[in-house]
Structures are given as structure tokens and as C-alpha cells.
Amino acid sequence: MRTRKIKTVFLDRDGVINRKRPEGDYVKCWEEFEFLPQAPEALKLLKEAGLRLIIVTNQRGIARGLMTERDLEGIHRRMLAELATLQVSVDAIYYCPHEEGLCECRKPRVGLFRRAQQDFPDIDFAKSAVIGDSLKDMEAGTQLGCLTILIANGTRKERLCNESTAKGIRIDVVVSSLFEAAKLLTSFGSAR
């Protein structure tokens, strides 16, 4: 992996910051939201290093009628409030509420990232990292020229790495947790 000065970190939400629900289910209310171990500490570490933190998340549960955008916004409000108690802030959250194939914002498409760049014009994708737990996250990062960091373990890690090679998707680093990714990114030096 080549070392580069990272200034912006794009983070997937489910499976990266909070525990992912079983396949076909979604975090539909605050009571179903559970931070992954050391995720808030990882975000704090990244923020203290001067990095911009942007969450980009597919939320197909809205398109499927399992929750509303208002429900999702409530979850995000509570998540941000919990993080604030730990002196952690997130710069922005972008989400795709659509079903697959109906928009330009659903990852692996890059519409959410482009919207972030409109809101934060100094974003340079070559100085950004994408942290996610799926090939869709890695594919979006590959398209944009970002550093790609996959969170995966064991046989899942092996399967995703094999699939990525077959599909031409670049994975720069594989780690077991957001905290491990944060330690790696902060070892590159502060963004300030």
C-alpha cells in the first residue's frame, strides 16, 4: 500500500460503525442500533487527527417500506448525539433511500460522494479513504481513486478478496475493525 496524506474519510455505516442486522433486515429504529466495539473510539481517533468524517450509506429499507426517511434521520440524530457525548463529531451523513438500479447515489455508484464534494469543494478523492465492509464500498472507492479499506475477517475476507480480483475492484488494505483502520490512517500523520 502506498502511503498518502489522507484528509477525508468516507465511512459506510452498517457493519463499520454499527452492528449490521441479519441479511434482508435493516436497522429501522434506534433500539436496533448498536455501535460496534471501539467504533466511537475509532471515530474520535480519526477526528483528533484532523480528518473530515463523512458517512455514506445505502438504506434500501426505506425503498422497501420497512422504515421512513424520518425514521432514518432519527437514528442518525441519536447516533450523532451519542458520539457528541464522547466529543466526537461527524461532518456529514449522506444516504441512498432507493432500490438498486434506480439512481446514481446507491453504492457502488458514486453520487453520494459527488454530493459530498459539492458540499465540501476541497475534497480531493486522491487524498480520501473509503472504509467499508462490502465490495460495493470498495468499488465506489476504486472508481474515485480513493484509498480503499475493507473491514472483513476469516473466510469472508478471503471470499471478498477473491471476488474483488475477479471483478477488477481494488482493495488497498484489509482490516478487522474500524479501530484498526483508524490506527492505520492516523499512523500516516495528521491531516492538519
Amino acid at 114: R
Angle between helices 39-48 and 178-186 (to 10 degrees): 20
Specify the 3-state DSSP secondary structure of 121. Answer: coil
For this structure, is 14 an active site residue? yes
For this structure, is 133 an active site residue? no
Catalytic residue, chosen from 12, 71, 133, 137, is 12
Q: Minimal CA–CA distance to 55: which of 105, 103, 9?
A: 9
> Residue 77: which residues within 8 A CB-CB, separation 6 or more?
none
Phi, psi (deg, nearest 5) at residue 130: -115, 125
Catalytic residue, chosen from 14, 71, 133, 137, is 14
Q: Minimal CA–CA distance to 145: which of 122, 128, 162?
A: 128
Q: Which residues are catalytic?
A: 12, 14
